[in-house]
Amino acid sequence: MTDEPGEYDDFLTDLQSVVAQRVEELRARQSAQTPPAFNDEEKVVREWPELAGRIMEEFR
Partner 1 sequence: MAIRGSLTEASLPDVLQLLAMGRKTGCLGLTFANNFGYIYFNDGSISHASIVNRGLGTEEAVYLLFTWTQGTFNFEPGATPDEEVQLHCIDPQSLLLEGARRVDEWALIAKKIPTFDIVYAMDRHKMMEIDRGLTAEEERLVPLIDGQRDVSAIIAESRLGEFVTAKTLYGLLTTGYVIRIGVSTRSRAPARADDKATEHRNLGVAFYKTGMYEEAQREFRRVDTLRENDPEACFYLGLVALRQQQWAAAAHAFERYVSEQHSSRPSVFVNLAYAYEQMGELERARTAMADALSHGGRGDPLVQTNAAAMAVAAHDYETADAALASARTLWGTRRPPPAWFHYAGLAAAMVNDLDRAIALLGEAVQVYPGYAVLWNNLAVAYEARGDFDEALRTVERGLIEDATLPQLHRNFADSLQRDGRFDEAREAYRRAHSLDAL
What is the smallest separation between the CB atom of 52 and partner 1, expressed in angstroms? Answer: 8
Write the CB contacts of 31 (distance below 8 Å, at least 6 apart in sequence): 39
Q: Quick check: 56 binds partner 1 (CB under 8 A)?
A: yes
What is the smallest separation between the CB atom of 18 and partner 1, expressed in angstroms? Answer: 23
Size of the site for partner 1 (CB under 8 A): 25
How open is the CA angle 42-48-50, to the nearest 5 degrees? 120
Cα separation of 20 and 7, whole Å? 20
- Positions touching partner 1 (CB under 8 A) are 31, 33-38, 42-51, 53-60
